[in-house]
Amino acid sequence: MASAAADPTPVHMVLRGRHLRRDRALIMAIVNRTPDSFYDQGSTWAPEDARKAIDDAVAAGADVVDLGGVPASPGPEVSVAEELDRLLPTLTWTREQHPDLAISIDTYRAEVARACLAAGADLVNDSWAGWDPEILPVTAAYGAGYVCAHTGGLTPRTDPVRPVYDDVVGDVIAVTTALAERAVAAGVPREGLLLDPTIDFGKNTLQSLEVLRGLPRLVATGTPVLLAMSNKGVVGETLDVPLHGRLTGTLAATALAVAAGVTMVRAHQVEETRQTLEMVASVLGDRPPSRAERWM
């Protein structure tokens, strides 16, 4: 990355005409409108709790808020109608209260994406790699951004069984860049694309660690990379820590990833993540210190 003196805004993305510029990597804050997500376990299930979480995330420095209505893990079926009931009121409130905020919708269904984009969302965070063939044309119709994910061929809301790859990093690169080209061919703006190696989706812990080590190869494709590994199982198994003991490991991996050139990170803990990203950017010379007073 260029130095701060040469380029005061080294990170720049465009999502549906919204320009996101920062002297650090960007933050996508997680707000789940579900009662059963793996980490928060319904802490933002109540509408008022979701609204407070969004306000808090924006105040803490989130660049994007990602709203999800269906957990990634296996569980009770959530219909399209139920998913929209969970998402649309919070999305509408967010757009009214934070008109300049970039809003992402975590969905794999084209019908849900269409309704949410019509209500003002800017990015489709499709963690299931284009499983619904209509999701790319729908995204393109609204000029929105799109996350190109790698799932190892899994169908939505399923877990892998002893996944095997000859070269997991190579597979991530091949699959996500091919999906990116499909998206562009469908009319999705290239400036709004992100590649997501999708840590732990279709991958065991050793494979997720290999993907993390291989992030420079993915960054080298030239398409911005989204790292979504906040508090995931790879951290728990690597450090042998419980679910709510994974923050330190998450931030360590996050620091290495953004130093390698990752553009955006998806996070539950926005304040701690922002401080990590700012520190990395300052060490790299992309961001001046907030203050430098000692012995000056």
Average pLDDT, the chain: 95
φ, ψ (nearest 5 deg) of residue 45: -70, -45
**DSSP sequence for 29-41:** EEEE-SS--TTTT
Give the DSSP H or E segment for 149.
strand 145-149
Q: Where are the domains of the chain?
A: 11-284
**Residue 261, helix vs strand vs coil:** coil
- How far apart are alpha carbons 227 and 194 in whole angstroms? 10
Q: How confident is the model at residue 212 (pLDDT cuts 50, 70, 90)?
A: very high
Mean pLDDT of the 238-254 span: 97
Integer CA distances (angstroms), 284 to 23, 116, 157, 185, in order: 11, 38, 38, 36
64-105: per-residue pLDDT in tens?
999 999 999 888 999 999 999 999 999 999 999 999 999 999
Collapsed DSSP state (helix, strand, coil) of residue 25: coil
**11-284 topology per CATH:** TIM Barrel (3.20.20)
What predicted TM-score, i.e. pTM, was given to this entire model? 0.94
